[in-house]
A and B are shown apart, each in its own frame.
Chain A
Amino acid sequence: KAGVTQTPRYLIKTRGQQVTLSCSPISGHRSVSWYQQTPGQGLQFLFEYFSETQRNKGNFPGRFSGRQFSNSRSEMNVSTLELGDSALYLCASWGGTTSYNEQFFGPGTRLTVL
């Protein structure tokens, strides 16, 4: 079974630009969650998509948005990048219902904002 894939793995952008990150979950998994990991704040929840609908949302500004496609692949977008957005962005997939007790993270996309 293929793992969770994230593209691109590394990205360098400048302040004010926007960026789109992609996540392909495990086959059959309907839920994709996004997390931001920084040395100071650790892992922080951004949002979760389940069956193409945003089911949960964290406490991030509206510059952070996402979507999920019918094949469960998900994208997140950050507009008007700030220096503080430099982080490792991780996505995690799981089945999405209580019948599942397995979850897998992707390797992450490392975003650097200059």
Chain B
Amino acid sequence: QKEVEQDPGPLSVPEGAIVSLNCTYSNSAFQYFMWYRQYSRKGPELLMYTYSSGNKEDGRFTAQVDKSSKYISLFIRDSQPSDSATYLCAMSEKTGFQKLVFGTGTRLLVSP
């Protein structure tokens, strides 16, 4: 069993929808949680970086961490076709971006 589980999708939504992306994990030592967006043939791009439990908002993106349930989420409001990409969660026991463990990614398709 992988340390970080993520539904591969694809997840198809209409433009303007609220998107919910999720990851579960098994290692209770994870303290740092990230979300990345990866377009085809590009490197991942950091979207959100959070520490421990709680919520963090940045524009149309909201990241939630529930350490008691070992569950993290990324919400995208007012989704746009340009949001179509693969979304990767990642987490680490160590500060910053050391030794990240990634989920396999969820492919999101936003149709106009």
A residues near B (Cβ < 8 Å) are 4, 31, 33, 35, 41-45, 48, 55-56, 58, 90, 92, 94-98, 100-108
Instruction: Tell me what chain B mostly uses at the interface: helix, strand, loop, or mixed.
Output: loop
Residue of A4, A43, A98, A104 near B96 (CB, 8 A) is A98
- By a CB distance below 8 angstroms, the chain A residues around B42 are 107
Closest to B6 in A: A42
Could you tell me the distance in whole angstroms from the C-beta of A85 to the nearest C-beta in chain B? 19
Q: Is the CB of B96 within 8 A of A97?
A: yes
Residue of A56, A100, A108 near B43 (CB, 8 A) is A108
- By a CB distance below 8 angstroms, the chain B residues around A58 are 99
Question: Total A-B residue pairs with C-beta atoms closer than 8 Å?
Answer: 62
Residue of B41, B94, B97, B102 near A103 (CB, 8 A) is B97
Chain B residues bordering chain A, tally (CB within 8 A) = 22
Cα A95 to Cα B46 in complex, Å, equals 14
Q: Is the CB of B44 within 8 A of A96?
A: no
**B45 on interface, CB distance cutoff 8 Å:** yes
Q: Is the CB of B46 within 8 A of A104?
A: yes
Residue of B94, B102, B105 near A56 (CB, 8 A) is B94
- By a CB distance below 8 angstroms, the chain B residues around A103 are 46, 49, 97
Quick one: which of B33-82 are within 8 Å of A by CB? Answer: 36, 41-46, 49
